[in-house]
Structure 1
Amino acid sequence: MVAVTTVATSLIPTNAERIVTELGGTEAIVTMVSPPDDTLIQHPESLSYYEVDRDPMTGEPLGHDPDDPILSVRDVLPPGTELLTIVESSATVRTASGLGALALVEGDAADPALDGRFSLIEGRGPRTDREVAVSSSALDRLDISVGGEIEVISPEPGRFAVVGVIEDRQRPTDDDVLFARDGAISGVPAEGDTGATVYLPDTRLDWPAVRELNAQGAVVLSRAVLQDPPADARLPFGGSITLYSSLTSVIPMLALIGGFALFEVCLLAGAAMLVGTRSDLRALATVASVGGDRRVLFRTVSLGGVVLGLVGGIVGAAVGVGAAAGYVALTDDGSAAKYPGFHVDPLVLAAIVGFALLSGWIASLVAARTAARVDVVSALRGSRRPPKPSRAASVFGVVLLGLGALGLLGGATMTFFGYWPEYQYSWVWIGILVIVVGAIAMQLGAALLSPTILRGITRLFARGGASVRMATRDASRNSARSVPTLAAIASTVFVAVALMTMLGSAQHQANLTYQHTAPLGTISGPLVTYDDEGVASLIPADDVVTVMETVLETEVEVLSSVASPYLNNDPDATFARPRLQISDACRELLAETQGMGPQQEDCGLNWFLLGQFGDQIWVGSVADLEAALGEPASDEARRALNGGGAVSLHPQFVADDEVRFEWWSGEQLADQTNFTDMAPERAVALPAVVQRPAHDYRFGIFVSPATAREVGLEFDESFVIADVGPRPSEETYDQLWGALAAVEVPAILYHEGGPPQFAGGAAWIFTGIAALITLAASAVALGLARADARRDDEVLDAIGAPPRLQRGVAFWQAIVVAGIGTVLGAAIGLLPNLALTLPSLVGVANDIPRDAAPFWAFAPPWAQLALLVLALPLVIALGSWLTAGRRRVAVRRMP
Structure 2
Amino acid sequence: MNGWYHSWRAAIRIARRDAWRSKGRSFLVLAMIALPILGVSAADLTLRSAELSTEQSLERSLGAADARFTDPGMGGVPLMQTPDANSSTPVGDFENKPYPEGRTDVSKVLPADAKSLTDALGSGKLRTAHGLLNTEIRELKASDPMAKGIMVVDQGRLPQKADEVAATTHFLQTSGLKVGAKLAARGLDREYKIVGAYELPDTLDTDQVNALPGAFLVPLDKALEKAGLPATEASTTHLVSIPGGFTWNMVKEANAKGVTVNSRAVALDPPAKSDVPIYQQEGWGQYEESTAAKAAALAAVGTVVGLAMLEICLLAGPAFAVGARRSRRQLGLVGANGGDRRHIRAIVLSGGLVIGAAAAVVGTVLGLLLTFALRPLLEDYMGARFGSFDIRPLELLGIGLLAVFTGLMAAIVPAITSSRQSVLASLTGRRGVRKSSRGLTVVGLIAVALGATTALYGSVMTDQFIIVAGGSAVAELGVVALTPALVGLFGRTGRILPLSPRLALRDAVRNRGRTAPAVAAVLAAVAGTVAVATYAASDDAQGRSAYEASLPHGAVSVTLDEAGGRDVPAVRATVQKMLPIDLRADVDRISVGKTNCSMYGGGEGCGRYEVVVPEANQCPLWKTDPAHPDEDPSSKFSKAERRKLAEDWRCKELSGGSSVDGGVLVGDAKLLKVLAIDDAAAEKALATGQIVSFDKRNVDAKGKIGIRLITDPKKADEAAEKGKEAPGEIKTFTAHQVAGEPNSYGVAMILPPAAAKSAGVNTVPFGAYYSTDKMPSSEQRQRLDGELDKTGSDINLHVEEGYTSENNIILLALTVFAGLITIGAAGIATGLAQADAEADLKTLAAVGAPPRVRRTLSGFQCGVVAAMGVVLGSAAGVLPAIGLRLTERRDQMKWYQEALDQGYGSLDSVPHVPIIVPWETLAALLIAVPVGAALLAALVTRSRGALSRREAT
TM-score (norm 2): 0.71
Give 1:5's aligned amino acid.
Answer: D
Query: 1:111-149 deviations in whole A, cap 9, x for unaligned?
Result: 466454323344443333333233344446555544443
Q: Deviations over 1:719-764 (max 9, x none)?
A: 51346554977885465255265xxxx7654565667854344444
1:820 aligns with 2:868: yes
Candidates 247, 258, 278, aligned match of 1:209: 247
C-alpha displacement at 1:469, in angstroms? 0.8
After superposition, the Cα gap between the structure-2 partners of 1:804 and 1:764, relative to the gap in structure 1 and judged at 3 Å, is same
Which ranges in structure 2 are unaligned for 5 or more consecutive residues? 1-39, 222-231, 280-284, 593-598, 625-631, 636-641, 709-718, 726-731, 901-909
Matched, 1:879 2:906: no
Q: 1:28 is matched by which residue type in structure 2?
A: D
Residue type at the aligned position of 1:14: S
Structure 1 match to 2:534: 501
Other-structure match for 1:424: none
Q: What residue in structure 2 maps to residue 160 of structure 1? A: 191
Q: Is the 8 A contact 2:248 2:271 kept in 1?
A: no
Q: Which residue of 2 aligns with 1:11?
A: 50
- Distance in 1 (CA, whole Å) between partners of 2:458 and 2:299 is 24
User: Which of residues 217, 221, 244 in structure 2 aligns to 1:186?
Assistant: 217
**Residue type of the partner of 2:584?**
E
Matched, 1:608 2:608: no
Task: For residues 632-678 of structure 1, give each alpha carbon's deviation from its aligned partner in whole angstroms, at most 9, with x where no partner exists.
Answer: x7xxx3767678799x9999979xxx9999325569x999999xxxx
Distance 1:623 1:758 in 2: 34
Calculate percent identity across the aligned residue pairs. 24
- The answer to whether the Cα contact below 8 Å between 1:268 and 1:777 also exists between their aligned partners in 2 is yes
Deviation of 1:354 after TM superposition, in Å, equals 0.7
**Aligned counterpart in structure 2 of residue 77 of structure 1, from 94, 101, 111:** 111
User: Which residue pairs with 2:841 in the alignment?
Assistant: 793
- Kept in 2: contact 1:38–1:215 (CA 8 A): no
Q: Is the 8 A contact 2:706 2:733 kept in 1?
A: no
**More deviation, 86-95/404-413:** 404-413
Structure 1 residues 304 and 334, CA, compared in 2 at 3 Å: closer, same or farther? closer
Relative distance call for 1:113 and 1:844 in structure 2 (3 A) is closer
Alignment of 1:370 onto 2:417 = yes
Choose the corresponding residue for 1:545, options 572, 586, 602: 572
1:333 match: secondary structure:
helix
Deviations 1:511-548 (A, max 9, x none): 55455433466652456679xxxxxx887964542454
Equivalent residue pairs, number = 823
Q: 1:173 to 1:438 in 2, by over 3 A?
A: closer
Structure 2 CA distance, aligned partners of 1:854 and 1:784? 52
Task: Output the amino acid matched with 1:558.
Answer: A
**One-letter code of the match for 1:72?**
V
Q: Which amino acid aligns with 1:177?
A: Q
Residue 404 of structure 2 corresponds to which residue in structure 1? 357
Retained in 2: the 8 A contact 1:10–1:340?
yes
Distance 1:861 1:205, change over 3 A: farther
Counterpart for residue 428 of structure 1: 463
* Mapped partners of 2:186, 2:370: distance in 1: 47
1:721 is paired with a residue whose SS is strand
Question: CA shift at 1:387, angstroms?
Answer: 0.7
Query: 1:92–1:323: structure 2 CA closer, same or farther, 3 Å change rule?
Result: same
Residue pair 1:660, 1:684 contacting (<8 A) in 2 also: no
Q: Over the residues paired in the alignment, what is the CA RMSD in angstroms?
A: 5.5
Mapping of residues 122-141 of structure 1, within 5 Å: 122-139=155-172
Query: Which residue, 482, 505, 518 being the options, matches 1:485?
Result: 518
- 2:354 is aligned to 307
Q: Does 1:196 align with 2:236?
A: yes
- 1:226-250 CA-to-partner distances (Å, cap 9, x unmatched) read 7x65697868699xx9xx9xx9999
Partner AA of 1:277 in structure 2 = A
In 2, Cα distance between equivalents of 1:856 and 1:406: 22
Q: 1:137 to 1:264 in 2, by over 3 A?
A: closer
Residue identity in the other structure for 2:306? G
Q: 3-state DSSP class of the match of 1:348?
A: helix
Instruction: Please say if 1:95 is aligned against 2:128.
Output: yes
Determine if the alignment matches structure 1 residue 386 to structure 2 residue 433. Answer: yes
Letter paired with 2:463: V
| Whole-angstrom CA distance in 1 between matches of 2:156 and 2:208 | 16
Q: 1:323, CA displacement in angstroms?
A: 4.8
Per the alignment, residue 856 of structure 2 pairs with 808
Q: Contact 1:32 / 1:71 at 8 angstroms: preserved in 2?
A: no
Deviation of the 1:41 alpha carbon: 6.4
1:292 aligns with 2:339: yes
Task: Tell me whether 476-485 or 723-732 shows the greater mean CA deviation.
Answer: 723-732
Deviation at 1:468, TM superposition (A): 0.8
Distance 1:718 1:265, change over 3 A: closer
Find 1:698's aligned residue among 733, 739, 746.
746
Comparing 731-740 with 448-457, greater Cα deviation is found at 731-740
* One-letter code aligned to 2:251: L
Paired residues of 1:557 and 1:720 also in contact (CA < 8 A)? yes
> Conserved in 1, the CA contact under 8 Å of 2:668 and 2:686?
no
Alpha carbons 1:31, 1:195 under 8 Å: kept: no
Who is 2:6 aligned against?
none
- 8 Å contact kept, 1:564–1:614: no
Q: CA deviation at 1:832?
A: 2.8
* SS, match of residue 187 in structure 1: helix
Q: Return the alpha-carbon distance in structure 2 between the equivalents of residues 699 and 817 of structure 1.
A: 59
1:265 corresponds to 2:312: yes
Q: Residue 444 of structure 2 contacts residue 478 of structure 2 at CA under 8 Å; is this kept in 1?
A: yes
Higher mean alpha-carbon deviation, 247-256 vs 476-485, is at: 247-256
Q: Is the 8 A contact 1:641 1:704 kept in 2?
A: no
In the superposition, the TM-score normalised over structure 1's length comes to: 0.75
d(CA) in 2 for partners of 1:550 and 1:324? 49
Structure-2 change in CA distance of 1:343 and 1:486 (3 Å): farther
| Cα displacement string for residues 482-509 of structure 1 (whole angstroms, at most 9, x for unaligned residues) | 1111112221222233234334444444
CA gap of 1:617–1:112, structure 2 versus 1, over 3 A, is: closer
Deviation per CA, 1:775-820: give whole Å up to 9, x if none.
4333322222222223323333333433321221222222222233
Are residues 515 and 185 of structure 1, via their aligned partners in 2, closer, same or farther at CA, if it must alter by over 3 Å? farther
Contact 1:617-1:701 at 8 Å conserved across structures: yes
User: Per-residue CA shift, 1:832-889, capped at 9, x if unaligned?
Assistant: 3334445788999999846499553334655545444443333322221221135224
Counterpart-to-counterpart distance in 2, 1:254 and 1:406: 22
Q: Structure 2 counterpart of 1:75, which letter?
A: V
Tell me how far 1:8 sits from its aligned partner.
Answer: 3.1
**Residue matched to 2:227:** none
Give the match for residue 534 of structure 1: none
The amino acid that maps onto 1:457 is F
Q: 1:573 to 1:851 in 2, by over 3 A?
A: closer
Q: 1:736 aligns with which of 766, 777, 788?
A: 788
- Within a 5 Å distance, the mapping from 1:830-841 to structure 2 comes to 830-838=878-886
Q: 1:876 to 1:85 in 2, by over 3 A?
A: farther
Confirm or deny: 8 A CA contact 1:579 1:662 kept in the other structure. no
What is the distance in 1 between the residues matched to 2:786 and 2:662?
Answer: 29
Change (3 A) 1:579 1:212: closer
Alpha-carbon separation, structure 1, partners of 2:409 and 2:657: 67
Aligned counterpart, 2:585: 558
8 Å Cα contact 1:660-1:685 kept in structure 2: no
User: Is 1:283–2:330 an aligned residue pair?
Assistant: yes
Query: Which residue is equivalent to 1:471?
Result: 504
Q: Residues 364, 728 of structure 1: CA spacing in aligned structure 2 closer, same or farther, 3 A cutoff?
A: same
Compute the displacement of 1:187 (Å): 1.3
SS in 2 for 1:127: coil
Residue 626 and residue 835 in structure 1: after superposition, are their counterparts in 2 closer, same or farther (change >3 A)? Answer: farther
User: CA 1:116/1:529 → structure 2, altered by over 3 Å: closer, same or farther?
Assistant: closer
C-alpha change, 1:847 and 1:310, in structure 2 (3 Å) is: closer
Distance in structure 2 (CA, Å) of the matches to 1:31 and 1:361: 58
Deviation of the 1:357 alpha carbon: 1.3
SS in 1 for 2:359: helix
Q: Determine if contact 2:534/2:916 at 8 Å carries over to the other structure.
A: yes
Q: 1:780 aligns with which of 818, 823, 828?
A: 828
Give the residue type in structure 2 aligned to 1:608: L
